Amino acid sequence: MRPLMHTRKRVPENFIVIKEKDKVIKEQSQVAETFNEYFTNITKDLIVHKHTAFRDQAHVNRIPMASQRPMNSFGLQPTNHNVVKSVLDNVKPNKAQGHDLIPPRAVKASANSIAKPFSDLVNTIIAKSQVPDSWKHGQITAHHKKESVLDKKNFRPVTVLPAFAKVFEKIIHMQMTEHFESIFHDFMFAYREFHGCPAALLTLTEDWRAEFDKRNVIGAVAIDLSKAFDCLPHELLLEKLKFYGMSENSVALLRSYLSSRYQRVKLGQTFSTWMGVSAECQQSATGLLTWTTIV
Residue 12's pLDDT is 41
Residue type, 246: M
Q: What average pLDDT does this structure show over 284-292? A: 51
Question: Does the structure show a pLDDT above 80 at 113?
Answer: yes
Is the Cβ–Cβ distance between 266 and 139 less than 8 Å? yes
Question: Does the structure show a pLDDT above 90 at 177?
Answer: no
E strands, 23-170, in order: 23-25, 137-144, 155-160
pLDDT digits (tens, 9 = 90+) for 37-89: 998 887 665 655 566 666 676 666 655 554 454 456 788 999 999 999 999 99
pLDDT above 70 covers what percent of the chain? 76
E strands, 3-53, in order: 18-20, 23-25
Residue 240's pLDDT is 82
pTM for this prediction: 0.77
Rg for the chain (alpha carbons), in Å? 22
Per-residue pLDDT band for 9 (boundaries 50, 70, 90) equals: very low
Q: What average pLDDT does this structure show over 149-171? A: 93
Q: Is 86 exposed, middle or buried (0-12, 13-18, 19+ CB in 10 A)?
A: middle
Question: Does the structure show a pLDDT above 70 at 175?
Answer: yes
Residue type, 257: Y
Please state, rounded to an integer, the average pLDDT across all residues of the chain: 82
Most confident of 186-190, 227-231, 273-277: 273-277
Mean pLDDT is lowest, of 135-144, 261-270, 281-290, for: 281-290
Q: Find, among 157, 148, 183, 104, the residue nearest to 267 by Cα.
A: 157
Residues 6+ apart with CB under 8 A from 266: 32, 139, 140, 141, 272
Is the Cβ–Cβ distance between 246 and 75 less than 8 Å? yes
Residue 11's pLDDT is 39
Mean pLDDT is lowest, of 109-113, 159-163, 205-209, 275-279, for: 275-279
Per-residue pLDDT band for 100 (boundaries 50, 70, 90) equals: very high
